[in-house]
Structures are given as structure tokens and as C-alpha cells.
Amino acid sequence: MPQTNDVVFSPELVSFIETWKSKPGNLIMVLHKVQEEFKYISREAADLVSQMLDVPLATIWGVVSFYHFFKLTRPGKYNIQVCMGTACYLKGGQALIDELSSQLNLPEGSVSDDGLFSLEGVRCIGCCGLAPVMTIGGEVYGKVTKAEVAKILAPLKNA
């Protein structure tokens, strides 16, 4: 089983990589699958992908740093994403980020010291009719106001 000191690929991931190894466009598909499993692309995971696909590590870093979807740092247990697409931005997306940042004492784009929360502004989530929108761990919160932020965060802080 492919592994480094810190990363072990599951049998399912290894099988997926083997299936995609010789297909066009394989690198992006494989990186999506790695991120799905680990929530981000670590240096160690990139090294394993490089070995398994026989692709230079520089090529992998070029792809993961170019596409905004790929994450290079582990997100918090509760990854908070605030939509900054046009509709959400106009209806208060930045105010939500500011409120979350203030309540969590967490700058946008960072992870809390305890690893519990991460906060990021993202491109369109696709729920424009619910603007402004944020997601936490895949759960969508629509028409969110600054006043609702504390109520949304409370059960997560006490979990």
C-alpha cells in the first residue's frame, strides 16, 4: 500500500489511481479524489501521487496552486465557507465574514489554533436565491444575517 511517514492511501484510493493512471486528464481527477479523502492536498500526498502517476512533483504543485478548489492546508473540523459571488457579496457576504472572524477571533483564510474552525470566502456556491449564503461542513445556511451567526456557531463551539 503506498504510504509515506504521515500519509497512507486507502485501498479504494489506490484502486482509483490505478484506474485513472493511463487516462487523459488523470491528474486533476486523482487530486480531487485525494482531497476528498484527506480534505486537502498535503506535500506527502502529492509525493505519493507523483510516484504513482510518474508525474513530476512540480507539475502537481502547479495544478493544485492554480485551481482554487484545491486546498494546501488542512481545514478545521468545521470549515466555514462564505459565498462571495455577486449576489451574496451584494447582500452582505463580506459582513458575514467580518462577523464570523470577530466571533471566532479567526482571520479569513486561516484555521483556529485548536483545529476546530476554518474560515474562507469562496466563489459562487450556487444558491444565489438564498443570498447571502454560507456553508459549514457541507450544510447550507441561506439568507444569513449577522445577528444569526452566534446562534449558528453556538452548537459547534459546544460540541
C-alpha to C-alpha distance for 80 and 122, rounded to whole angstroms = 10
* pTM, to two decimals: 0.80
Give residue 149's domain range. 78-157
Q: Do the domain assignments include residue 59?
A: yes
Same domain, 102 and 126: yes
Same domain, 89 and 122: yes
Q: Do the domain assignments include residue 42?
A: yes
Q: Do the domain assignments include residue 1?
A: no
Could you list the pLDDT tens digit for every one of the 159 residues in the chain?
Answer: 565 567 899 999 999 999 999 998 899 999 999 999 999 999 999 999 999 999 999 999 999 999 888 999 899 999 999 999 999 999 999 999 999 999 999 999 999 999 999 999 998 899 999 999 999 988 999 999 999 999 999 999 887
